Chain A
Amino acid sequence: MHNIYIYILVMAVVTYLVRMLPLTLIRKNINSRFIKSFLFYVPYATLAAMTFPAILHASDDMRASVAGFAVALILAFRQKSLLTVAVAACAVVFAVEWFLI
């Protein structure tokens, strides 16, 4: 049987190096317009890809998830704060599941 603490150590070291190396090694400003534009778009593409379709399976009932997703979109379009949007999405899921399940 392998030691769980060594597993945790291996995971922590690999994950930390992935995060640490670019931050410590890249000190200069990148001048390439392509790379700058690419990096500008990265967070939006990543978060969008992580959100959809995963959000549909984030609660027990897909109808509740769809309702939560719709409410989050509407509130975000109206530029509500992060906390407001997150709490409203959860509240809608809770309410919809309450009535449907």
Chain B
Amino acid sequence: MKKENEFKRGLKDAIPVCLGYLAVSFAFGIQASEAGLSVFQASLMSLTNVTSAGQFSSLDLIATNAAYAEMALLQLVVNIRYMLMSTALSQKLSSKESTLSRCLVAYGVTDEIFALSVMRKGRLKPAYSYGLIICSVFGWVSGTFLGAFAGEIMPHRLISALGLAIYGMFIAIIIPDARKNAALMMVVIGAMAMSTLFTYMPVLSTISSGFRIIIVTVVIAAAAAILAPKGKEEVVDA
């Protein structure tokens, strides 16, 4: 009974992620078919990878017939932030959870699913993760399929507006907590400012977006951990 509730709660919480993914993966599907992938190949890539930045960046390499090793390296760099997220999640799961459930939870470590998982109070139950994953991946794969299949039909205005869904969700995740905690607010503002600097400054702007996010995350989170370390009791619940 408890398990079912966790699973259903996960499905429900992931609805905005599913919608946001639909929009983003729709765009991916269109680009993938332009790069020469079939509808099946594009959908298969979305189902097996579930990573927006990694998949978008792979299309250039496929189109230019790059070496497999180069593809592996690119994916490692673009997706290494998931390693930080998985490390954080490893602390959120009970140490008793089996290797199998850990392997299944790992499949769905994306920015958005991670955010929902880590904001859940108390221990993370794998059933909750499965709910999040099924709902989100459904959106990710069907959006890819539709984009690759019928990209030209959908009104462009709608795609443009849907582009904000994922960011609206990010804001809804971080702002309520930041409002209550001055250190968190500084982290949010600091990370946005540093990310802006890296996006527009000459030289710094040549850094890929994947690396930019890693650098900003590590610098800002480390600075916050030094300047405003969390007390014991607060961290357990975090």
Residues in A lying within 8 Å of B, measured CB to CB = 1-2, 4-12, 14-16, 18-24, 26-30, 33-55, 58-61, 64-65, 68-69, 72-73, 75-77, 79-91, 93-94, 97-98
Given A22-B87, A47-B170, A49-B195: A2 and B216 within 8 A (CB)?
no
Report whether B54 and A82 are in contact in the complex, using a CB–CB cutoff of 8 Å. no
Chain B: number of interface residues, binned into ranges? 35 or more
Asked if A42 contacts B217 (CB within 8 A), the reply is yes
Given contacts A10-B71, A89-B167, 19 further A-B contacts (CB under 8 A): A1-B65, A2-B68, A9-B48, A11-B58, A15-B51, A19-B106, A20-B103, A26-B87, A39-B221, A43-B118, A44-B178, A45-B188, A47-B173, A48-B190, A59-B160, A64-B160, A72-B167, A83-B15, A90-B161
| Residues in chain B near residue A53, CB distance under 8 A | 192, 195-196, 199-200
Smallest CB–CB gap between B217 and chain A, Å?
A: 5
Question: Are B184 and A44 in contact, CB atoms less than 8 angstroms apart?
Answer: yes
Is A34's CB under 8 angstroms from B165's CB?
A: no
B92's nearest neighbour on chain A, judged by CB, is A39
A-contact bits for B79-114, CB 8 A (1 contact / 0 none): 111111111111101010001001101110101001
B235 touches A40 (CB 8 A): yes
- Pick the contact of B213 from A15, A46, A86, A87 — CB < 8 Å? A46
Say yes or no: A15 contacts B79, CB within 8 Å.
yes
Asked if B221 and A38 sit within 8 Å, CB to CB, the answer is: yes
Q: Is the interface of A mostly helix, strand, loop or mixed?
A: helix
Please, which residues of chain B bring their CB within 8 A of the CB of A46? 81, 84-85, 111, 191, 213, 216-217
A34→B89 contact, CB < 8 A: no
Closest B residue to A26 using CB positions: B90
Is A23 within 8 A of B161, CB to CB?
no
The reply to whether A86 and B48 contact each other, CB–CB distance below 8 Å, is no
A5 closest partner in B (C-beta):
B41
Q: How far is the CA of A49 from the CA of B19 in the complex (A)?
A: 21
B168 at the interface (CB under 8 A from A): yes
Q: Is B75 in contact with chain A by the CB < 8 A criterion?
A: yes
Are A76 and B172 within 8 A (Cβ)?
yes
**A36-B230, A50-B111, A73-B171 are contacts. A15–B187 as well, Cβ < 8 Å?**
no
